[in-house]
Amino acid sequence: MKERLQQLQQEALEKIEQANDLKALNDVRVAYLGKKGPITEVLRGMGALSPEERPVMGALVNEVREVIQTALEAKQATLEQAEVEKKLASEAIDVTLPGRPVKRGNHHPLTRVIEEIEDLFIGMGYTIAEGPEVEKDYYNFEALNLPKGHPARDMQDSFYITEEILLRTHTSPVQARTMEKHQGRGPVKIICPGKVYRRDNDDATHSHQFTQIEGLVVDENIRMSDLKGTLREFARKMFGEDRDIRFRPSFFPFTEPSVEVDVSCANCGGHGCSVCKGTGWIEILGAGMVHPNVLEMAGFDSKKYTGFAFGMGPERIAMLKYGIDDIRHFYQNDVRFLQQFNRV
């Protein structure tokens, strides 16, 4: 029996050494240490031995089992390490390859135009003023010379929340609030960018929500010529140094006199084309001298102070600047449209 155990040990060690993967190694484990293996058979045959021989043979069986088990564990560790190294080699990352580029976003064309206009007027000494989009009827209309029942309110069909609260229809309430804060003391020199809302049918040139930038200057001896010089500088910086502007008489309740402002057509140089409908001019904004009633309601002495105001739509400016034919493109988040401005 002793010779048989030594022979089994030798055979097991040889097969363990020959195993080239974990499956083959497990087969060796089952073959020699399993319930039906030869070592288990030896243990079952120990009942035929004398009482004196049993402890000796029991110790020998345990020694053989331990030697085989130790060899199995050592071989298993070796095979597992080899498998890990093989897997690492097959899944190795070549760090010399360039990384996958991350797509970067870009400023929306409206954001570009708004920031360009803000930078231009800040360079002229203006400050940026902001106000609430949910506004009181008083600041949106009454403080701007539009009392309740005034027919000019019909031009600005509005989203009312209550009879006295609405979504602002222009950024002019910011002008009224700012003048009120100055308590009748000038100078005031601000631009007011922001979103505005009107009950309008969405089409290529209209939207129920759009952006607006208004400007206001109030001080002593402010004249119409100051307004024209300011807007001419704006037009040339925004559309090109060879652009010119013209004033056409108009009506706004909060300015007197009031004007529509046109810029000479960049497409034809003012000679007339399909873009400007043959006139050589394109309308870009409205403006005028601040109405004395507006000054008085804000606490300014209209005999001492004068001022001018203007208002423009960044969508309109962007459409002219970039040749965009439909205002809805700005709000649809179509990546194909927005990507065109990555290098603008």
Question: Which positions make up the binding site for Mg(2+)?
Answer: 256
Cis check for the bond before 187: say yes or no (omega within 30 of 0).
Answer: yes
Q: Give CA 318 to chain center in angstroms.
A: 20
Query: Who contacts 317 (Cβ-Cβ below 8 Å, separation ≥6)?
Result: 113, 117, 238, 284
Angle at 90 between CA 86 and CA 96, to 5 degrees: 130
Contacts 24+ apart (CB under 8 A), 222-227: 222/289, 222/305, 222/306, 222/307, 222/308, 223/306, 224/257, 224/289, 224/308, 226/308, 227/287, 227/288, 227/289, 227/308, 227/310
CA distance 159 to 144: 18
Q: Are 72 and 29 in contact (CB under 8 A)?
A: yes
**Binding site feature residues:** 256
- Please report, for residues 233, 264, 266, 300, 330, the alpha-carbon distance to residue 269 in angstroms, rounded to integers and kept in the order given: 17, 7, 5, 42, 27
